[in-house]
Amino acid sequence: MPHFAANLTFLFNEVDFLERFAAAKKAGFDAVEFHYPYAWDKRVVRAALDEAHLQVVLINIPAGGKDDFGLACLPGREADFLAALLLALDYAVALGVPRINCLAGLVAERADASAYRTTFIANLKVASRECRKAGLELMIEPLNTRDVPRFFLTHSRQAIDIIRATGAENIKLQYDLYHMHIMEGALARTLEELLPAIGHVQFADSPGRHEPGTGEIDFAFLFRHLDRIGYRGWISAEYHPSGKTADSLGWLRNG
C-alpha cells in the first residue's frame, strides 16, 4: 500500500496554514509536506506537527524573489543560494525533515544554458555536502514548461545526468507525475527504469492540476504499479482541489 502525504501548500487552503496540520490528520494523513515554512517560527510549526501527530517528509529550499523560481542554477547568485540552503537546513533539522527539494531556477531568454548547468552542478555539490552533514537527502525536480516557462530542469533523464555529474550519492530525483506526464508521458515505464534514483513522488491530475479522477492520468494503476516495482517512499498529493479539499479525497479513501 502506498504511503501518502498531503502537501499543505496546496491542500486544506480553507483554513490558515497552522490549522492545516490538524485538518490533514483528521482526513487520514500521517505525513505532510509544504513548500516554504519560513514565514512561521520553526518552533511554532514543530508544535503544530507534534500536536497533530504528523511527520513532515519534505520542504523546499527558498526559491528566491518574486521573479525567481529557484536559485540553484543562476550564475552570479551563488551567495543567495547558499543563504537559502542554510535557512532550509535550519528548518529541516528543527522539524525533523528527512529531505529538502532544490528548485533549479529560470533560464534567461537567449542565454547560454551551459553556464546554468555548470552553476547548478557546482551548487548541488555544495548542497549535497551540507545535507550529508545533517543526514538529509537532497531532491531535484523537473517541472513542465507549460506552467513554468524557461525552467532549467524539465525532464527526468536530464535530472539523472545532472545527479551523475555531481558524483553525490544523497541527491535524488523528485518525480512529479503531473509535470512528467506533460513533458514525457510513459510514466509507468519511466518510474520503473529510474526507480533507484527516485527519492520522492508527487502527483496531480492533468490537465488542470486537480485531484485524481479529474483528468486523464490513471492513478489507480500507477499507485499499484509503484507498489509492484518496490517503491517504498512517500507519494505526496500536490494538487489544487477542484472544490473543498475534503471532497477531493476519494482517491485516498478508496486506495
Active site residue 14: no
Residues in the chain: 255
Classify residue 184 by burial, with Cβ atoms within 10 Å: 0-12, 13-18, 19+: middle
DSSP string of 193-216, one letter each residue: HHGGGEEEEEE--TTTS-STTSSS
Active site residue 211: no
Do 129 and 157 form a contact (C-beta atoms < 8 A)?
A: no
Given 33, 137, 211, 238, the catalytic residue:
238
- 236 DSSP β-pair partners: 5, 202
The residue type of 30 is: D
Please pick, among 141, 169, 211, 216, the residue that the annotation labels catalytic. 141
Among candidate residues 83, 90, 88, the one with its CA nearest the CA of residue 101 = 88
Active site residues: 141, 238
